[in-house]
């Protein structure tokens, strides 16, 4: 089934890698999409072998996957995932999405977006069909949005079901997606170099957030009133990279090479909260994420994992931020 696979060794935990597949037969197609994407597939009935062809290219970049799929048979994909966003751009043939109240007719200038906030979805593709896509792990999108905004956000961001690519910004984002897709045919592509792949991945997710409609879009598109000084950015980056570490204002100030008073003053002026209040909000969002996804079986497990020793105070902070009790997601 896997006709060609190129991997690039790297000391990084998530080295860029490429895989290509050619599939034959309904059983193999269903197995592939179930294993690779956790979706169920329905195929056009009685397709002659001479017309049956399904192929897939994948470029894995940490929490992202750039894809290109070719199909000569009509297909339906039933998707119900809580862990990823999926952006589909059809280049040949038809691709339609139904999810919740949204019905999107995909075109080369209008992408269909699967959202983990909107419940089960149904993709339909015509024959023939070729579609380029981007699968983003929910955590990767959330973390990128937090870095862009400079403050924690809820675990799941409610994005629009369609993406307009017929704008200057939309075309620029599509060119970036196409740049990474160029790695499908080039084993020496720059995407396989981790030092290049990481900023390209950040640019792809950041660009998507800039051109999509979601609750934080307006804030992202507004010019920053003031540029955060370097020592504040260093402290924020350290907390996002390792939120579970035992950070203190003193340790963050030492890392940023400034005094505790200067760091506190920088956070008050540019973030409107203290460094420890920022860290507490960040950890609260991580605990919320663990409860919603089932990574934590109990409220106590989620709270203690993220450094909240007092369960009553954790519950009060959680309710103030999310408007609900953390026990709502606790397993029976």
**Count of Cβ atoms closer than 10 Å to residue 321 Cβ:** 14
Q: Taking residues 245-261, what's their average pLDDT?
A: 89
Measure CA 150 to chain center: 17
Share of the chain above pLDDT 90, in %: 45
> Is residue 4 scored above 70 in pLDDT?
no
> In this structure, are residues 112 and 88 in contact, taking their beta carbons and an 8 Å threshold?
yes
Q: Taking residues 76-95, what's their average pLDDT?
A: 94
Q: What is the pTM of this model?
A: 0.70
Q: Domain residues of the chain, as ranges?
A: 2-219, 230-329
**Count of Cβ atoms closer than 10 Å to residue 2 Cβ:** 11
Q: Taking residues 62-91, what's their average pLDDT?
A: 93
> Is residue 223 scored above 60 in pLDDT?
yes
What is residue 227's predicted lDDT score, i.e. its pLDDT?
A: 60
What is residue 45's predicted lDDT score, i.e. its pLDDT?
A: 65
Q: Which two tokens stand for residue 123?
A: 């993709």
Burial of 137 (0-12, 13-18, 19+ CB in 10 A): middle
Helices (H), the chain: 26-37, 138-149, 168-181, 194-211, 217-221, 230-241, 249-256, 260-270, 275-293, 299-305, 311-322
Classify the C-alpha dihedral 34-62-284-225 as positive or negative.
negative
Q: Do domains 2-219 and 230-329 have the same CATH topology?
A: no
Cα separations (Å) of 40 from 30, 97, 200?
7, 15, 31
Q: What is the pLDDT of residues 22-66, one digit of tens each?
A: 988 888 899 999 999 999 999 876 666 667 889 999 999 888 999
Q: Which of 10-24, 158-172, 235-249 has the lowest mean pLDDT?
A: 10-24
Share of the chain above pLDDT 70, in %: 92
> Is residue 15 scored above 80 in pLDDT?
no
Q: What is the pLDDT of residues 259-308, one digit of tens each?
A: 888 899 999 888 888 999 999 989 998 888 888 778 888 888 888 888 88
Return mean pLDDT, the chain. Answer: 86
Expressed in angstroms, the distance from the first to the final Cα of the chain is 41
User: Backbone dihedral region of 143: left (phi > 0), alpha (psi from -120 to 50 degrees) or beta?
Assistant: alpha
Residue of 158 and 194 predicted with greater confidence? 158
Residue with tokens 């209008």: 110
Q: What is the pLDDT of residues 109-150, one digit of tens each?
A: 999 999 998 999 999 999 899 999 999 999 889 888 887 777
> In this structure, are residues 284 and 154 in contact, taking their beta carbons and an 8 Å threshold?
no
Highest-pLDDT range among 41-50, 251-260, 309-318: 251-260
Q: Which CATH superfamily is domain 2-219 in?
A: Jelly Rolls (2.60.120.10)
> Is residue 11 scored above 50 in pLDDT?
no
The domain defined by 230-329 folds into: Arc Repressor Mutant, subunit A (1.10.10)
Pairing state of beta strands 95-99 and 121-125? antiparallel
**Count of Cβ atoms closer than 10 Å to residue 236 Cβ:** 24
* Neighbouring residues of 267: CB distance < 8 A, sequence distance ≥ 6: 232, 235, 273, 274, 275, 278
- Which pLDDT band, with edges at 50, 70 and 90, does 1 fall under? very low
């Amino acid at each position: 089934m896997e006709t060609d696979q190129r991997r690039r060794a790297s000391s990084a935990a998530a080295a860029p890698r490429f895989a290509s597949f050619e599939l034959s037969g309904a059983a193999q197609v269903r197995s592939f999409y179930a294993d690779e994407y956790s979706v169920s597939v329905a195929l056009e009935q009685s397709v002659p072998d001479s017309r049956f062809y399904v192929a897939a290219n994948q470029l894995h970049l940490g929490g992202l996957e750039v894809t290109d799929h070719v199909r000569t048979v009509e297909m339906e994909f039933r998707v119900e995932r809580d862990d990823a966003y999926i952006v589909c751009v059809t280049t040949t043939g038809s691709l339609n999405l139904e999810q919740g109240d949204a019905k999107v007719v995909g075109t080369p200038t209008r992408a269909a977006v699967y959202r983990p906030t909107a419940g089960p979805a149904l993709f339909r593709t015509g024959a023939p069909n070729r579609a380029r896509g981007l699968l983003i792990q929910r955590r990767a999108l959330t973390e990128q949005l937090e870095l862009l905004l400079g403050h924690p956000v809820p675990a799941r961001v409610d994005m629009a079901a369609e993406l307009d690519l017929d704008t200057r910004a939309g075309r620029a984002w599509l060119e970036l997606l196409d740049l990474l897709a160029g790695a499908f045919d080039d084993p020496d592509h720059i995407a396989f170099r981790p030092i290049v792949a990481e900023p390209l991945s950040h640019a792809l997710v950041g660009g998507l957030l800039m051109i999509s409609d979601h609750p934080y879009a307006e804030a992202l598109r507004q010019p920053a009133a003031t540029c955060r000084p370097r020592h504040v950015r260093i402290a924020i980056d350290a907390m996002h990279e390792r939120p579970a570490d035992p950070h203190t204002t003193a340790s963050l100030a030492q890392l940023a090479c400034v005094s505790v008073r200067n760091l506190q003053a920088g956070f008050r002026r540019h973030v409107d909260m203290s460094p420890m209040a920022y860290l507490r909000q960040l950890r609260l969002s991580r605990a919320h994420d663990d409860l919603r996804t089932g990574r934590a079986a109990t409220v106590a497990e989620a709270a203690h994992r993220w450094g909240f020793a007092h369960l009553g105070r954790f519950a009060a902070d959680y309710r103030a931020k999310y408007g609900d009790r953390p026990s709502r997601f606790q397993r029976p």
